Amino acid sequence: MKKLTLLLAFGILYPTFPIVSLANQVQHNQQNDTQYHCDGRQYCAEMRTCDEARYFNRYCPNVKMDGDRDGKPCERRCGS
C-alpha cells in the first residue's frame, strides 16, 4: 500500500478515468431512473421512444427487443 501511495504521489500511476466523469454518469443514471421504470413491457411495439427501448433493454428483465443480442434494441425502428 505504501508503494502504491508513493507511485500516486509522484504521478507515475493514476486512475485512467476522471472522477468527475463517474459522478456525471451516476447523476445521468439517476435521471433515467426517474424518467423510465420497468413495468413489464417487453416488446418494441410497446415502447414510445428509442431512448425508452434502450433503457428497457439495459435495465429491465425479460425484454424481447434485441433478437441478435448485439445490445441494440428495436433495430428496425431505431436503426443501429
pLDDT given for residue 12 in this prediction:
57
- Residue whose grid cell is 413491457: 41
Q: How far is CA 42 from CA 9, 11, 25, 61, in A?
A: 50, 49, 26, 9
SS3 64: coil
Tell me the domain boundaries of the chain.
Answer: 40-80
Sequential pLDDT tens for the chain (80 residues)? 666 555 555 555 555 545 444 444 545 555 555 699 999 999 999 999 999 999 999 999 999 999 999 999 999 999 87
How many CB atoms are closer than 10 A to CB 34? 7
Please, are residues 53 and 73 in contact by the beta-carbon 8 Å criterion? yes
The residue type of 48 is: R
